[in-house]
Copies of this chain bind each other. A is one copy, B any other.
């Protein structure tokens, strides 16, 4: 009997949950995922590495992965956080000799469905609806990028607040403002391009004020109103 965690059939049954695959029949899904493999990752496991040849396309099934690169000076720089339903390496697949532009690193126990590039090109690309949905995911990723870029000149507390609010707004469950990803202060720092210490000074201040709490790396926003105010505080 196949393990539900690692078997392809198990993954197939999970896919319809994600908007990306809404309305697709199991037959079509089976086609799309031909020869697909479920990769199980532990905390800090590398799913693929920046610079390696891009042989597979990926869909995050559970947990979370961060996309990161090492800067010339050695610190790493986090580009994006992928949660379930997000795609990996979609943009580079069509290139003649694709290379992963970033490394994908698991944040806690996670699983990803990996599809061979050839299958992606044969089965996924010819379905405009699917390609468009993937573009939709990339579009929102791009939007988050831009939001951060606009905050570049803002003081650090504004940037941290904007990042946290951005992350929770992804799955918009308004009642429970919990960051959907286990985030360390270092990862926040690496995302914003600042030092851990600076992030800690901001966050521990907020903790003392009771605006946020963090246990087991889950960050919860208790006073979203104050964080929003913090973001706009930079405004004239």
Chain A interface (Cβ < 8 Å from any Cβ of B):
69, 71-75, 77, 79, 91-92, 94-95, 101-102, 125-126, 128, 131-132, 135-136, 138-139, 142-143, 145-146, 149-154, 192-194, 231-232, 234-236
Also in contact, A154 and B234, with CB within 8 A (given A135-B91, A139-B92, A146-B79)? no
Please give me the 3 A-B residue pairs with the lowest Cβ-Cβ distance, nearest first: A152-B193, A72-B235, A91-B139
Give which listed residue, B69, B72, B128, B151, contacts A131 with CB less than 8 A. B128
How long is the Cα–Cα vector from A232 to B74 in the complex, in angstroms? 11
Chosen A-B contacts, 22 in total, with CB atoms closer than 8 Å, are A71-B152, A72-B150, A72-B232, A72-B234, A73-B153, A73-B234, A73-B236, A77-B149, A77-B153, A91-B135, A91-B142, A95-B139, A101-B146, A125-B132, A128-B128, A131-B131, A131-B135, A135-B135, A138-B138, A149-B193, A152-B193, A153-B193
Also in contact, A71 and B153, with CB within 8 A (given A94-B132, A138-B138)? yes
Chain B residues near A235: list those with CB within 8 A.
72-74
Chain B residues near A72: list those with CB within 8 A.
150, 154, 231-232, 234-235
Also in contact, A146 and B73, with CB within 8 A (given A128-B126, A153-B193)? no
How long is the Cα–Cα vector from A92 to B206 in the complex, in angstroms? 36
Q: Give the Cβ gap from A96 to chain B, nearest Cβ, in Å.
A: 10
How long is the Cα–Cα vector from A94 to B18 in the complex, in angstroms? 18
Whether B152 and A77, one on each chain, are in contact in the complex, defined by CB atoms closer than 8 angstroms, is yes
Chain B residues near A74: list those with CB within 8 A.
235-236
Q: Give the Cβ gap from A12 to chain B, nearest Cβ, in Å.
A: 24
How long is the Cα–Cα vector from A45 to B135 in the complex, in angstroms? 29
Whether B143 and A101, one on each chain, are in contact in the complex, defined by CB atoms closer than 8 angstroms, is yes
